[in-house]
């Protein structure tokens, strides 16, 4: 990037303010973006990053403030104007139609509605050319529903490029990607910057921010609290600026494992569509110990979680709780046996979006005393219990009668934690417990899991984040194609060694060694 180009400001936000009810999402935020520059917009969940970008893109209307693109003011609340001005947005939740092809999704809205015909050949040629230029390999005639998450994201980027976007906004683009796909995305972004595009990259992952950005802008509680050149800062300083306090990794005391509370002996479960079931898996969850389950997503983690959570039963093999064979197994018996479930997808299976906090807090206990008696709900008791969770687990919300849809991911997760941990469970199934959470919330969840371990609970931690697994687990298993590796004690394996197992190597020899 030369000095002359750097001087050209392509985007300017001027004192943007936006409130939702009592919540101030953006408080007089100003920033500018130059040609060929990557700005990282950094902040915790709920800091107002997405709101700011939605205002820029015209999906929300700001209460006050102005947006200027290439020196011209953008009319508020008009996505069309933003698109025409050269702003392209890749949303966190993709705006693609699954039942339609890549080509149709890209072409949507690019030609006048009343034009008699859609020239598919021309669209296809242009998609192919852009895909080559920006290294975005994707089949134009594939149905979006059949694509992987990484491919869908490429379609979103293609959509923006197809409309000749000069400014790309990417909202948490890596949250859904594997490390390999993230590398591919970054290669594409570097290519785009080299071709003179400018990028706003929203994230709360510090190493990515350090990796891709030229400048970092930090938002906290809707205010711009810091702005610095990436080369002049480091992860530590960014983390501190983001949460407003020094952050430290959790201290892990030595483990004192007790008896095996849950034991699987050569258990197999049916495949679930494309995802493999368990293949002759043996596993012991011991009291006072965190067992980490590493592996690439879709290798049987869901099957194991469903099995322990009571959603499916083993087809073959031995399933023991406290040394006794389990005969009848359902989610309800699982909960009654003292298993706490932190589900993988808190929106889909962890909460009911339009229920309020109280109703969500008692989802697992509403049918028993004290939440209900003889078939009558005891709402006063339920609300009191929820107030307690809110206070003890620091759930930031207007009150227990708020719809949970309105909470940020981190606060939603805290409520789920409170729901399952208040019952002092003996076995905790933590499936991707910190996915999509910011640093503050991550540390909080981790400290709660460690506290449960200290109290003598057996924890199964399922995560795709190897750093998280290695930081917390006392013993580690790797899962691949539904098969489980032998147990590795803390510190005996380097990430690269685990990576070999994650890639599916070593199972046949390994099992022979283990037995």
Q: Which of 80, 406, 37, 42 is nearest to 225 (CA)?
A: 42
Q: How far apart are CA 218 and CA 43, in angstroms?
A: 6
Nearer of residues 147 and 362 to another protein, judged by Cβ: 147
Minimum Å gap between C-beta 401 and another protein is: 17
Nearer of residues 101 and 198 to another protein, judged by Cβ: 101
Q: Where are the alpha helices (DSSP H) in 27-84?
A: 49-56, 79-84
Nearer of residues 115 and 248 to another protein, judged by Cβ: 115
Strand (E) or helix (H) holding 132: helix 120-133
- Which chain residues interact with another protein by CB under 8 A? 20, 59-61, 78-84, 89, 91, 93, 95-100, 104-105, 107-118, 159, 405-406
Minimum Å gap between C-beta 2 and another protein is: 33
Q: How far apart are CA 370 and CA 377, in angstroms?
A: 9
Residues 6 or more apart whose CB falls under 8 angstroms from that of 439 comprise 44, 204, 206, 239, 242, 243, 247
Nearer of residues 61 and 315 to another protein, judged by Cβ: 61
Minimum Å gap between C-beta 357 and another protein is: 16
Minimum Å gap between C-beta 435 and another protein is: 20
Judge residue 35's burial from the number of C-beta atoms within 10 Å of its C-beta, 0-12 exposed, 13-18 middle, 19 or more buried: buried
Minimum Å gap between C-beta 74 and another protein is: 12
Both structure tokens of 14: 């001027």
Judge residue 110's burial from the number of C-beta atoms within 10 Å of its C-beta, 0-12 exposed, 13-18 middle, 19 or more buried: middle
Nearer of residues 143 and 381 to another protein, judged by Cβ: 143
Minimum Å gap between C-beta 158 and another protein is: 13
Nearer of residues 332 and 405 to another protein, judged by Cβ: 405
Backbone φ and ψ for 472, nearest 5 degrees, come out as: -105, -30
Minimum Å gap between C-beta 210 and another protein is: 30
Q: Reduce the DSSP state of residue 76 to 3 states and report it.
A: coil
Nearer of residues 156 and 468 to another protein, judged by Cβ: 156
Q: How far apart are CA 13 and CA 232, in angstroms?
A: 24
Q: How far apart are CA 374 and CA 338, in angstroms?
A: 23
Nearer of residues 96 and 502 to another protein, judged by Cβ: 96
Minimum Å gap between C-beta 11 and another protein is: 18
In contact, 342 and 420? CB cutoff 8 Å: yes
The DSSP bridge pattern shows strands 281-286 and 260-268 to be antiparallel
């Amino acid at each position: 990037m030369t000095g002359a180009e750097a001087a050209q400001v392509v985007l300017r936000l001027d004192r943007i303010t936006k409130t939702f009810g009592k919540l101030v999402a953006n408080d007089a935020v100003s920033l500018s973006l130059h040609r060929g520059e990557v700005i990282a917009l950094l902040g915790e969940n709920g800091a107002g990053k997405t709101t700011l970008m939605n205002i820029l893109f015209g999906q929300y209307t700001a209460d006050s403030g102005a947006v200027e693109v290439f020196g011209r003011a953008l009319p508020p609340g008009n996505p069309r104007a933003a698109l025409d001005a050269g702003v392209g947005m890749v949303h966190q939740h993709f705006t693609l139609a699954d039942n339609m092809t890549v080509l149709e999704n890209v072409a949507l809205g690019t030609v006048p509605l009343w034009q008699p015909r859609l020239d598919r050949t021309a669209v296809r040629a242009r998609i192919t050319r852009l895909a080559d230029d920006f290294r975005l390999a994707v089949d134009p005639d594939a149905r979006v529903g059949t694509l992987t998450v990484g491919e869908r994201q490429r379609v979103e980027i293609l959509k923006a490029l197809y409309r000749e976007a000069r400014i790309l906004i990417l909202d948490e683009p890596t949250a859904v990607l594997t490390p390999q796909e993230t590398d591919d995305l970054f290669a594409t972004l570097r290519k785009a910057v080299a071709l003179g595009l400018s990028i706003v990259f929203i994230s709360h992952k510090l190493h990515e921010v350090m990796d891709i950005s030229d400048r970092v802008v930090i938002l906290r509680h809707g205010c711009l609290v810091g702005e610095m050149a990436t080369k002049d800062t480091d992860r530590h300083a960014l983390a501190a600026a983001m949460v407003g306090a020094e952050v430290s990794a959790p201290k892990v005391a030595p483990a004192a494992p007790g008896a095996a509370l849950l034991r699987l002996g050569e258990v197999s479960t049916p495949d679930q569509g494309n995802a493999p079931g368990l293949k002759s898996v043996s596993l012991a969850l011991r009291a006072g110990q965190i067992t980490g389950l590493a592996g690439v997503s879709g290798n049987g983690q869901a099957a194991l979680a469903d099995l322990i959570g009571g959603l499916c039963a083993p087809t073959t093999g031995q399933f023991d709780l406290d040394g006794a064979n389990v005969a009848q197994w359902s989610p309800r018996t699982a909960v009654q046996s003292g298993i706490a479930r932190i589900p993988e997808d808190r929106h889909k299976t962890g909460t009911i979006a339009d229920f309020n906090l109280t109703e969500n807090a008692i989802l697992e206990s509403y049918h028993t005393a004290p939440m209900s008696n003889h078939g009558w709900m005891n709402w006063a008791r339920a609300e009191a219990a929820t107030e307690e969770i809110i206070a003890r687990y620091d759930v930031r919300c207007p009150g227990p009668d708020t719809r949970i849809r309105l909470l940020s991911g981190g606060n939603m997760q805290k409520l789920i934690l409170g729901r399952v941990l208040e019952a002092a469970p003996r076995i905790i199934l933590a499936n991707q417990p910190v996915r999509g959470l910011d640093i503050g919330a991550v540390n909080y969840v981790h400290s709660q899991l460690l506290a449960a371990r200290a109290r003598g609970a057996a924890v199964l931690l399922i995560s795709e984040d190897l750093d998280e697994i290695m930081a917390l687990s006392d013993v580690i298993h790797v899962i691949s194609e539904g098969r489980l590796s032998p147990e590795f004690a803390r510190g005996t394996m380097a990430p690269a060694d685990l990576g070999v197992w994650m890639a599916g190597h070593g199972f046949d020899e390994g099992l022979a060694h283990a037995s």
